[in-house]
């Protein structure tokens, strides 16, 4: 409970005594490039393969001759957009970006760089953490859109390379019974997950005490707690928006 | 002037600072000395506001620091420069960016003025032509000097140094000590240095406060320290053979 209280106070400190807008614009821009660009390749590889595997496994599980093959395209579309793109990418994102944020802030803490900012009269939480959270909230939905597109494309590539579903039927499935709300739902999830991963990782890193060992532990803890929070958030959002 | 009165600080029930009071005057190098773990770094962190004392008062030129509102605290903090034990340079920035950082964030100074000020400060600490080097590419002594340049770049009125000589060879240590004394003298700033280096005490100790087991046991200057008559201070000052021989000769 004490940690949760500390986390809420930490979030409150993000907006206390902020620096000039100009300062944040530059920092947010730098973080967007760092967080976004460094994640693109990993997200690309994972999304393409997840889409392809989902296609093959769905085809494997549809054994009834009464179910048209085009259903595979529909299932891949629905699962990729509503679940795989926002959630699986968030877990990968927690591993890559979350651990990096925690490690970065943890190192700054143990080498007194955060103290140096505080002594200068700069709100270190606001200066260091707010740009990371804002940048993640900007960049992560873009990555989710990319992941969804690549996941569906991965399914199409699988349909081309294997005989599990003919490509024209896959396309028919993709365009059948499309409910645009799943895109909105995926974007809402992406915003929540972006905030969750960045704020939890920053919190874990910011309060690191000790030395190099503790920085490593903070990174590990950031990933673990972020993943649990993502899964919990996923369930709550599904309950809230889909029921 | 910085005044502290009756400062107490505990961590998990263990008292680290016990009822310490003192005045640190401008234009003087004020030294806080004591053995490792005696509480001197905790005291300096209380004074700059990194820790909040359990009780006691701290004032900067008569302005209450502990109970001040956020704006006043920020105003006072922006007059403070601090050199940390490990330098605390931002490792993602080069030397020039580190030194100009306070100007970038805290002032609206024009670009050319900023560069002039940065180059002046780097020259002052004898680090010309190192602007583009990263902290990892320079020695420990140079990192400390960059830290000093960053601490003074914003025309700080108060300069705090936490063990500026730790990890440095004796010659570099003396250079750092003299640099700190010159800067203090030139700008008439209030400088507080935490150290356990006896060379620094003898070289620049215009005011020396000795802390032992969380208490202030003695205060004076580097001339008086060898005749303090305080057993704990004698044990600290004359811990090595060279200092003992020095005492016998004097």
Does any domain span residue A135?
yes
Pick among B46, B75, B76, B84 to test the A interface (most A CBs inside 10 A): B84
Quick check: B48 and A111 CB within 8 A? no
Does any domain span residue A14?
no
How many residue pairs from chains A and B have C-beta atoms closer than 8 A? 56
For residue A112, what is the nearest residue in chain B, using CA coordinates? B88
Residues of A in contact with B45 (CB under 8 A): 115
Look at chain A and report how many structural domains it folds into: 1
pLDDT in 10s for each residue of chain B, 250 residues? 899 999 999 998 899 999 999 999 999 999 999 888 888 889 999 999 999 999 999 999 989 999 888 888 888 988 999 999 888 999 989 999 999 999 988 888 899 999 999 999 998 888 888 899 999 999 888 898 899 999 989 889 999 999 888 878 888 888 888 889 988 998 899 999 999 888 888 888 899 999 998 899 999 988 888 788 888 888 888 877 877 777 777 6
Q: Which of A51, A23, A35, A55 is nearest to A120 (CA)?
A: A23
Does any domain span residue A179?
yes
* Mean local confidence (pLDDT), A197-202: 96
As given in the structure block, the two tokens for residue B30 are 């004020």
Q: Considering only the beta carbons, identify the residue of B74, B88, B106 that sits closest to A116.
A: B88
Does any domain span residue A1?
no
- Domain coordinates in residue numbering, chain B: 2-79+157-249, 89-156
CATH architecture of B2-79+157-249: 3-Layer(aba) Sandwich (3.40)
Does any domain span residue A9?
no
Q: Considering only the beta carbons, identify the residue of A111, A120, A127 that sits closest to B78.
A: A120
Quick check: A121 and B80 CB within 8 A? yes
Does any domain span residue A4?
no
Q: Given CB atoms, is A116 within the 8 Å cutoff of chain B?
A: yes
Kindly report, residue by residue over A75-96, the tens digit of the pLDDT. Answer: 999 999 999 999 999 999 999 9
Give the pLDDT of residue B232: 86
Residues of B in contact with A126 (CB under 8 A): none
Quick check: B49 and A16 CB within 8 A? no
């Amino acid at each position: 409970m004490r940690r949760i209280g500390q986390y809420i106070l930490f979030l409150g400190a993000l907006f206390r005594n902020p620096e000039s807008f100009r300062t944040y614009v530059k920092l947010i821009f730098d973080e967007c490039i760092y967080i976004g660009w460094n994640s693109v390749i990993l997200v690309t590889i994972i999304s393409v393969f997840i889409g392809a595997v989902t296609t093959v496994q769905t085809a494997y599980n549809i054994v009834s001759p009464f179910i048209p093959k085009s259903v595979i395209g529909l299932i891949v579309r629905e699962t990729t957009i509503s679940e795989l793109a926002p959630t699986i990418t968030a877990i990968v994102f927690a591993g890559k970006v979350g651990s990096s944020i925690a490690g970065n802030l943890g190192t700054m803490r143990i080498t007194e760089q955060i103290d140096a900012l505080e002594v200068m009269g700069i709100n270190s939480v606001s200066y260091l953490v707010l740009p990371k959270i804002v940048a993640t909230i900007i960049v992560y939905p873009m990555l989710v859109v990319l992941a969804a597109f690549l996941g569906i494309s991965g399914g199409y590539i699988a349909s081309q390379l294997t005989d599990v579903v003919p490509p024209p039927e896959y396309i028919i499935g993709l365009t059948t019974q499309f409910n645009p709300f799943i895109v909105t739902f995926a974007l809402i999830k992406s915003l929540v997950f972006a905030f969750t991963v960045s704020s939890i990782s920053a919190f874990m890193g910011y309060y690191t005490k000790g030395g190099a060992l503790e920085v490593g532990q903070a990174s590990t803890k950031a990933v673990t707690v972020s993943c649990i929070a993502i899964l919990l958030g996923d369930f709550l959002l599904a309950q809230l928006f889909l029921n | 002037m910085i005044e502290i009165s009756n400062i107490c600080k505990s961590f998990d029930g263990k008292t680290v600072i016990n009822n310490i009071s003192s005045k640190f005057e401008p234009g003087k190098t004020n030294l806080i000395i004591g053995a490792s773990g005696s509480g001197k770094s905790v005291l300096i962190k209380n004074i700059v506001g990194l820790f909040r004392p359990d009780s006691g008062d701290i004032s900067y030129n008569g302005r209450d620091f502990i109970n001040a509102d956020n704006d006043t605290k920020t105003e006072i903090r922006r007059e403070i420069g601090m050199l940390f034990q490990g330098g605390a340079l931002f490792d993602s920035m080069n030397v020039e960016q580190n030194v100009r950082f306070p100007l970038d964030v805290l002032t609206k100074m024009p670009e050319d003025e900023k560069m002039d000020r940065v180059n002046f400060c780097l020259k002052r600490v004898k680090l010309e032509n190192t602007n583009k080097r990263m902290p990892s590419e320079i020695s420990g002594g140079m990192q400390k000097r960059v830290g000093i340049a960053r601490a003074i770049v914003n025309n700080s009125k108060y300069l705090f140094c936490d063990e500026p000589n730790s990890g440095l060879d004796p010659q570099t240590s003396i250079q750092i000590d003299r640099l700190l004394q010159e800067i203090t003298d030139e700008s008439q700033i209030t400088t507080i240095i935490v150290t356990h280096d006896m060379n620094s005490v003898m070289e620049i100790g215009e005011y020396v406060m000795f802390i032992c087991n969380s208490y202030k046991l003695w205060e004076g200057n580097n001339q008086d320290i060898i005749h303090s008559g305080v057993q704990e201070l004698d044990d600290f000052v004359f811990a090595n053979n060279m200092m003992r021989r020095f005492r016998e000769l004097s």
